Amino acid sequence: MTRNDTPASDLDAPVDYRIDADQTAWITLNRPHRHNAITSDLTAALTTGLRQAGTDQARVTVLQGAGRAFCAGHDLVEEPQSDAASRRWAQGLQDVTRAMRQLPCPVIAAVHGYVLGGGFEFALSADLVIAARTATFGFPEVGVGLSVTGGVTMLLPRLVGPLRAKQMLLLGEHLDATQAAGLGLVNWVSENDDLPARVKNLVKQLLDKPALSTKLAKRALDAGLENGLEPQLELEVGHLITASASPEAAAGRQAFRASKTR
């Protein structure tokens, strides 16, 4: 969380979006003077950026933060003054979660510095998380009289178990990157200076995979959070049929057979 008696106004857009030639979308939280703390403008721009990545048919999306932090959570300068305003605020955060989960391509959260509150929620909603070693994670909401949003109450217990999730939310304890990785909240921990190169390497690995199979794998795994066994089994059959009929699958099988004859 960030509070400042004299809030600075953003000179630039709160979120920067670009897509490169290999169809990787780069979305950067761009309020470095506030440690990328969350305002309603930032959540709206982030949702727009994620949807734009879908429109642009991005094959991978990277979410990162400018400056010294990924995201310090709710900017307490912008405090809702009514129940209706609080609802709009919460729904704005939840729109980010929806957009990230609905985006067909994998989303990588590349995090450093503060990864707190809503910033932690953004990371939880991503498909893969790579963290700088000095990243600090936590949910301080209860301690400042707020409550988590963004699907945390479903996603977090499934990752760390209900007891650990309650400990994290009720006590607001901070975790370093190694602790977060140990709990399954982070895939990889990188030395700070190596983070950009590690992210680019991870992007390349994903781009080297068949695009359709990658999208289907993400969709099936996300659906598995909500489906019962039988609907999930049927979804897997449908995905297998779709993937097997694709040109990428035919090329992959041909390459595999060729490798066996050498």
Which residue numbers are catalytic?
121, 141
Residues in Cβ contact with 152 at an 8 Å cutoff, skipping those fewer than 6 apart: 120, 121, 124, 139, 169
Contact 153, 121 (CB under 8 A): no
DSSP string for residues in 20-86: -TTSEEEEEE--GGGTT-B-HHHHHHHHHHHHHHHHTT-SEEEEEESTT-SB--BBTTS---SHHHH
